A and B are shown apart, each in its own frame.
Chain A
Amino acid sequence: MTEASTMIAVKDLRKSIRNGPRTVDILKGISFTVPHGQFVAIMGSSGSGKSTLLGLLAGLDTPSSGEVRLNGTAISYLPEDKLAKVRGKTVGFVFQSYQLVPTLTALENVLLPYELNAEDASGHEGLQRARELLASVGLSDRLDHYPVQLSGGEQQRVALARAFILRPPIVLADEPTGNLDTTNGAHVLELLLHLNRTLGTTLVLVTHDPVLAGYADRRIVLRDGAVISDAVQEPVSFTVAE
């Protein structure tokens, strides 16, 4: 693996928070690198530090110490607005609870990162791509629906489309199927893997579901804020159960 092909580099990452008089160490010095195009599953029980790690990878929070590099850029200590721009262009997000903007329609939600980050925000390209993406996740008839008018599975598919609109090199997903039933979960996962493979995106997925983790190229397991195992694996091939 060459340095140039490294998409994510994490070096001695630590995070502690103050809770009254106590200091709680959530992450205790984590280091790993993820090459371009790899699908990494991060596993661990509740409270192991998975979500905190994901948040730090995305620059959603500042580490207590250590460093995160995305596509060669050290992001951890960038000023707020600069960080927002790097994040917008480099990272796509899929959250367990969808996190759509409730006052925007499905189409507008997908278009939002484009409007915020694309160089040519006024062009029709974004709109067309948003429509295509929504069509590819099977929602071409739901373009003008608001989040409350969509089912959970549909909302997560909108979130997927949104994550991919800027063709980000990295997609981070936090329990993307956690709130969905089996069928909807499988559909969302299929779409995620499809987009990951066709677009060559680096995918980091946080889950506590071993089945879901089985589809990944590599599995990192956390316990009490430390990596207890990090192994490359042969991914299970994915089929949607009808």
Chain B
Amino acid sequence: MASLSLRSAVKIASRELRFSRGKFFFVVLSVAIGVAALTGVRGFSSSFRAALLDRARSIMAADLSARMFQQPTPEEQKGLDAIAAESVEMTPVTEMLSMASSARTLDPLLVSLKAVDPTLYPFYGEVQLQPAGSLRDVLKNDTVVVADDLLVRLHLNLGDSLKIGNRIFRIAAVVVNEPDRLSGNFAAGPRVFISREGLDASGLLAPGSHAGQRYLFKVPKPKDGTPISEKAVANLKERLEKLLPESQVIDYRETNPALTQGLDRATSLLSLMSLVALVLGAVGVAMAMRAHLEQRLDTIAIMKSLGAGSTEIIRIYLLQTLLLGLIGGILGVVCGALVQMAFPYFLGRLLGVPTAVHLQLRTVLTGLGAGILTTLLFTLPPLLDIRSVRPILILRRAVDESADPFLTALRKKLKDNLSQIAAIVLILTGLAAIATTLSDSATVGKVFSVGLVTVLAVLLAACALLLAGLRRFLAKTRLRLPSAVRHGLANLYRPGNPSAALLAAVGLGVMQILSVFLIQKAVVHELHLSSAPNLPNVFLIDITSKEIAGVEKLLKLQPSVTAAPELLPIVSSRIVAIDGVPATRATLKNFPRRMLRSISLTSFTAPPEGTTITEGAWWSAQEAKPEVAIAQRQAERLGVHVGSKVTFAAQDSEIVATVVALIKSDGQHTFSRAEFILPPKVLNGLPVVWYGGVHSDPSRVGELQRALYRSFPTVTVINVAQALETVRSVVIQITYVIQFLAAFSVFAGIVILASAVAGTRYRRVREVVVLKTLGATRVRIATVFSIEFAVLGLVAGIVGVTFANIVARVLLGRMSIPFHLPWIWDALALIATALATVATGWAASFRVLGQKPLEVLREE
């Protein structure tokens, strides 16, 4: 059977594109903005993440570290050698306590030695020295690099000699900051860097000596210049955990909870923004294509009357859709690439992170593919509508309304629209697939896909209900309403007006924009908390009960201390049994057995600051029964849960404590060290040492150290101020980028929604002409339209804002961030939606209002 040739189909499709450039502008604009946002946000966020992760690596000095508590067995060593053979770089860091003394005075001092191979260590970041220099140059076999408190305590200067073991070393430099400060041992005593050869020569590393060993690993960089994949690191981690079951293996993301959370949350949020950009673009496309096809009804009817089958006509418009998707997609990718290049330029001053931007082919293809696919998916229902266009339209524009009872009508409608329903299912599945592929965060992908399906269904239903309610209201009151209001409201029900679709589109858009905004605000707020400038950055250990009052007083008097000190009583203990099973036979998960022999108990009447209860309940202030709250992480490793009984050794007796709560700390407070908390009365009478944390101005920590040393020489001070400053700066950078990208997403969303509203203006041309012919003034017509748009905006706003709050609540819940109902923002969003809809409607109808009736009537 004859049918329209592809050439003719292309000709008709492209000719229409050329003839209605204005109309298609909005379609192309929607696709382009959606794709640009997607490509820009995604591309930049992946570059930014790579830059951030690089900095995170420098906080650990490696991709992975494995802390060993004994020398590797020959079997383990074989495994490590095999790993090294795969181009994974590896270097050991040995940490141990030792006595050091000034070669002149021979005053002894307990120091923590850190032996490294300066040719390899650190893999990432650098050891900051005073005077400036590189560790590789100054750390030789006969030199050491020391922390400044050693100089204070031993009254030494640079260049002086220091005796360690049976060798004398020259002090070559002072260490200001080292990359793996936060993951190293917080042992007592000032730090001393020594070369591995130096350590061997000192004779300290005898068999049986108490040395801790850490292996640092660096995954080889891919040859194509792309950043090291997180998967490669995760794979190596898994291998190491299997190979070294008695060691603690952590990756660079785990060095600091603030950093880990910051990265995770940023990933989730950036993923969400990409997806939102995508769906908003799709909404714009769907609205514009719908409006376009409605305009084409006459042409479609003519072609049908001339013998064209639906398939042939659908082919023409399918080609057109593909072409539009492609043009919009290409334009979007180009804009996205420009945006991606522009971001670092704008953010340069804020960030100070050299963000290497490389346009990845994958990002470009994803953008283009997503653009074309969403365009196709969303034009499917209007395309399928072509089948129901009756050629009789040419002769008679009667609207055959149904008067069947509601349920019969609904059943009929569902039956008639089976293919439409199938198309909608296809769209949602397609979108979910795109979302899952695009999303770097599985949680966001899942919540988004499920959420989108639910929200779309509920949105459509809510819009239909609201419209029905309004119609009922109108039917009851219409004669009492002013005529402009009546006309404006009645316009919502004009035959063929896609009020429900537009409402759903605007509602969806508002929901997405507001969700991004609310989640962004909450995440940034949390990040600010976790990078708060008053968190402890100097830790004090080994404070006796006699000293504690004096130390507290001294800290409060110090001008460099900017926040109240956090103090924590510690009782040394060990775990004897778990649920009656002796510790030696207990089943543990990634928990070195020897750790059971050295744990710290502490006591509080209420959960300390920064600690939340994840399961169970806290005891009352007067509690004297042996109960314990255990950090969730440790509970998992020990295999205990609420109700379990853990037996702790306490001097000569034992405490059999019931686990009443599992806790989680934010990792930002000194109290985060408390992993086994018991009621104070239970620990009464046991020997206690205190552990303290305080925030000091990072540049004045030396001052604090000297003051403490003068009054309390036995108290060890651990300074992590510099290291924490690095973390803080990274987290702050994350917040800047999140805010910047959120603003971009919101802006893109508003433009797309505006174009969707504007796309409906062609529908109004005929109406305006008729009204003008009947003598309506422009003001009157504008008033009628304003009322229509304001009602649309308000209804869409109500639905959108409601769902935005639900989505934000669910997603924030998943990210463990509290959600507070943002009344003010909700109200503002509602008003802004109504205003923006009216403004856009006005702006778009401006030319329509100026149209001469004859121009349109002649075209009829």
Given contacts A18-B401, A103-B15, contact A174 B5 (CB under 8 A): no
B311's contact among A51, A81, A102, A115, by CB below 8 Å, is which? A81
> CA separation between A118 and B298, bound complex, in Å?
23
Q: Are A101 and B2 in contact (CB under 8 A)?
A: no
Contact A61 B15 (CB under 8 A): no
- Quick check: is B310 within 8 A (CB to CB) of the other chain? yes
A-B contacts at CB below 8 angstroms, number: 108
Binds B, one of A28-36, A86-94, A133-141, A232-240: A86-94
Q: How large is the interface on A (under 10, 10 to 19, 20 to 34, 35 or more residues)?
A: 35 or more
**A118–B394 CA distance with the chains assembled, in angstroms:** 23
| Of listed A97, A100, A102, A120, residue having the most chain B CB within 10 A | A102
Taking a contact as CB atoms closer than 8 A, the residue among B2, B11, B387 that contacts A116 in the complex is B2
B289 → A minimal CB distance (Å): 17
B307 adjacent to A117 (CB under 8 Å):
yes
1/0 contact string of A6-45 vs chain B (CB within 8 Å): 0000000000011111000000000000000000000000
A20 to B3, CA, bound (A): 39
- Chain A residues lying within 8 Å of B311, measured Cβ to Cβ, are 81
CB of A121 within 8 A of chain B?
yes
User: Contacts of B4 on A, CB cut-off 8 Å?
Assistant: 115-116, 121
Interface segment out of the listed A52-60, A195-203, A212-220 = A52-60
- Given the complex of chains A and B, what is the CA–CA distance between A55 and B12 in angstroms? 26
Chain B 681-701 residues near chain A, CB threshold 8 A: none
Establish whether residues A51 and B396, one from each chain, have CB atoms under 8 Å apart when the complex forms: yes
CB-based contact A116/B402 at 8 Å: no
Contact A61 B3, beta carbon cutoff 8 Å: no
**Is A104 interfacial (CB-CB < 8 Å)?**
yes
Known: A103-B16, A121-B2, A121-B5. A116 touches B312 (CB 8 A): yes
A119 at the interface (CB under 8 A from B): yes
Answer yes or no: A95 CB below 8 A from chain B CBs.
yes
Using Cβ atoms and an 8 Å threshold, which residues of chain B touch A104? Answer: 12, 15
Q: Establish whether residues A116 and B303, one from each chain, have CB atoms under 8 Å apart when the complex forms.
A: yes
Q: Say how far A49's CB is from chain B's closest CB, in angstroms.
A: 10
> Are A101's CB and B12's CB within 8 A?
yes
B400 CB–A CB distance under 8 Å: yes
Bound complex: CA of A95 vs CA of B1, how far in Å? 27
* B304 sits at the interface (CB 8 A): yes
Knowing A84-B309, A103-B16, A104-B15, say if A115 contacts B5 (CB, 8 Å). yes
- Shortest CB-to-CB span from B412 to chain A, Å, is 12
Q: Confirm or deny: B410 has a beta carbon within 8 angstroms of a beta carbon on chain A.
A: no
| Cβ-defined contact, B12 with A162, below 8 A | no
Q: How far is A104 from B396 in the complex, measured between Cα atoms in Å?
A: 24
Residues of chain A with a CB closer than 8 A to B595's CB: none
State whether B298 touches A18 (Cβ < 8 A). Answer: no
Assess the A103–B403 pair: CB atoms within 8 A: no
B394 close to A60 (CB less than 8 A): yes
User: A103-B12, A116-B2 given as contacts; is B394 within 8 A of A84 (CB)?
Assistant: no
Alpha-carbon distance between A98 and B280 when the two chains are bound, in angstroms: 40
The size class of the interface chain B forms with chain A is 35 or more
Q: How far is the CB of A221 from chain B (nearest CB, A)?
A: 19
Which residue of B4, B306, B310, B311 has the most chain A CB atoms within 10 A of its CB atom? B306
Contact A60 B392 (CB under 8 A): yes
Q: Out of A20, A55, A122, A162, which one reaches B5, CB within 8 Å? A: A122
A37 to B812, CA, bound (A): 78
For residue B549, CB closer than 8 A to chain A, the reply is no
Known: A55-B392, A116-B2, A118-B2. A89 touches B12 (CB 8 A): no
Residue of B nearest to A168 (CB): B307
B11 surroundings in chain A (CB, below 8 A): 108
| B814: min CB distance to chain A, Å | 49
Q: Binary interface profile of B, 9-21, with partner A (CB < 8 Å = 1, else 0)?
A: 0011001101100
Query: Is B309's CB under 8 angstroms from A119's CB?
Result: no
Q: Is the CB of A60 within 8 A of B390?
A: yes
For A55, list chain B residues within 8 Å (CB): 391-392, 395-396
- For the complex formed, measure the closest distance between the CB of A16 and the CB atoms of chain B, giving whole angstroms: 10
List of A residues within 8 angstroms of B391 by Cβ = 55, 58, 60-61, 87
Q: Does A85 sit within 8 A of B, measured CB to CB?
A: yes
Tell me, in angstroms, the Cα distance from A108 to B396 when the chains sit together: 26
Q: Give Cα distance in the complex from A56 to B597, angstroms.
A: 95
Residues of chain B with a CB closer than 8 A to A116's CB: 2-4, 303, 306-308, 312
Q: Can you pick out 10 interface pairs between chain A and chain B where the beta carbons lie within 8 Å of each other?
A: A55-B392, A61-B390, A87-B305, A88-B307, A95-B395, A99-B305, A103-B18, A115-B5, A116-B306, A118-B2
Beyond A51-B395, A55-B395, A112-B303, list 15 extra A-B contacts (CB 8 Å): A17-B398, A18-B400, A18-B402, A20-B401, A21-B403, A61-B391, A81-B311, A85-B1, A85-B309, A101-B302, A102-B19, A103-B19, A115-B8, A119-B2, A120-B2
Closest 9 pairs (CB-CB, A-B) = A88-B307, A61-B392, A81-B309, A60-B391, A103-B15, A60-B392, A55-B392, A113-B306, A51-B395
